[in-house]
Structures are given as structure tokens and as C-alpha cells.
């Protein structure tokens, strides 16, 4: 069964010219969106979330107003994506992105837990060299700060993976069935995360 929140958005690929440069972006219209939100991922992808009834002209005018920010962020994250996420592991980066990673993890865990309704104690962010996340038997969830650099679909996979360990503290068939309730394509995402 597909969770309700996946059916509340419309996705479409668009192009817009910003300061003479053609930029691709993914437009996501959602009934739950209260305002426009621009997101740049470290792989160079650009996503725009908007309320479903907002006109395309208004959306693109907003992007144009934010063109300096969009182009600057795209440049930064495209440079970062040239190397593996785990190839660089500095304390400076950890402290710089820790707060943003925590906010992302808390938001996504809350979103997916509307479906699972699993109790957990706290979410923490760590600077790990090879692990994306962990779940303790006490119900504490821990995530690598580098989830902030992942495309949304892969960050979702990391969040859901650890969330499901709250119920199945293993990698049994029951565990993967639980993951599949919100991420039916988890196998593809798991392959992609191994190459991140």
C-alpha cells in the first residue's frame, strides 16, 4: 500500500534561464505546501516545492528573484559532487552542516513516522567515516551529517531505514517489507546510496 503523502504531489521537469544560463529544475506541487521552497542538492539538482494552486508564472518570477542564490548554491554543490561524499571528512564541515542535517533528519523522520507511528527518544547527528546512520535498542536514531548532501530520495532512504529498525532490529524479510511500505523502490535507492 502506498502512503497517503506520496499521492499529494505533482512532479514535473522544467527549464528556466537565470542570468543567461539554462537551468533544469524539478517542480513539485503539493496540497500540503504552504509556501514556495527552493532546494539545491549536492549532485547539482534543483528542486522547487510550491502550493498546488500557485501559478507557474508566479513560481518562476520567484526563482528569478532568487537567481543569485540559486546559481551560487548550484556552483558550490556541483563542485562538492565531483568527489565521493565520504572522500572528505573534516571537523569543519561537520560543525558547519550539523544543524542543517539535524533539521533535515527531524523533519523527514516526523514525516515518515506519520505512516509508521513508531516511538523514538531522540535524533542525533554524528561525524562518521563510513556509516550513514544507526538505531540503538534504546530507540535513539543517529544520522551522518552528510545526509544533507544527498539527493532527497536517498536521504529519505537513510531516514526510513533507521526508523524501521525501531520495530525490526535486523535486516530480515520483515524489516525490508516495512521499508517497502513507504519506499517501494528501496532496492534501487540502496544501490544508489552505495555509490554516493
Q: What is the pLDDT of residues 63-75, one digit of tens each?
A: 999 999 999 888 8
Determine the pLDDT at residue 88: 60
Give the CATH H-level superfamily of domain 86-194.
Metalloproteases ("zincins"), catalytic domain (3.30.2010.10)
Residue with cell 521499508: 179
Nearest to 108 by CA among 141, 142, 156: 156
The b-or-e profile of 110-144 (16+ CB within 10 A means b, else e) is ebbbebbeeebeebebeebeeebbbbbeeeebbbb
Does residue 182 register a pLDDT over 90? yes
Query: Tell me, what's the pLDDT at 8?
Result: 47
- Residue intervals of the chain classified under CATH 3.30.2010.10 are 86-194
Quickly state the pLDDT bin for 5 (edges 50, 70, 90).
Answer: very low
Give this prediction's pTM: 0.57
Amino acid at each position: 500500500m502506498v502512503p497517503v503523502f506520496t499521492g499529494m504531489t505533482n512532479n514535473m521537469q522544467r527549464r528556466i534561464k537565470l542570468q543567461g544560463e539554462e537551468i533544469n529544475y524539478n517542480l513539485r506541487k503539493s496540497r500540503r505546501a504552504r509556501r514556495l521552497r527552493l532546494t539545491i542538492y549536492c549532485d547539482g539538482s534543483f528542486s522547487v516545492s510550491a502550493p498546488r494552486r500557485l501559478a507557474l508564472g508566479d513560481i518562476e518570477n520567484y526563482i528569478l528573484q532568487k537567481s543569485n542564490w540559486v546559481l551560487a548554491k548550484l556552483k558550490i554543490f556541483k563542485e562538492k559532487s565531483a568527489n565521493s561524499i565520504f572522500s572528505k571528512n573534516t571537523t569543519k564541515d561537520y560543525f558547519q552542516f550539523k544543524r542543517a542535517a539535524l533539521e533535515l533528519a527531524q523533519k523527514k523522520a516526523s514525516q515518515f513516522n506519520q505512516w509508521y507511528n513508531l516511538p523514538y527518544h531522540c535524533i542525533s547527528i554524528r561525524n562518521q567515516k563510513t556509516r550513514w546512520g544507526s538505531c540503538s535498542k534504546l530507540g535513539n536514531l543517529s544520522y551522518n551529517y552528510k545526509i544533507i548532501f544527498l539527493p532527497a530520495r536517498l536521504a529519505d532512504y537513510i531516514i526510513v531505514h533507521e526508523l524501521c529498525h525501531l520495530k525490526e532490529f535486523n535486516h530480515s524479510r520483515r524489516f525490508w517489507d516495512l521499508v517497502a511500505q513507504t519506499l517501494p523502490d528501496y532496492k534501487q535507492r540502496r544501490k544508489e546510496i552505495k555509490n554516493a
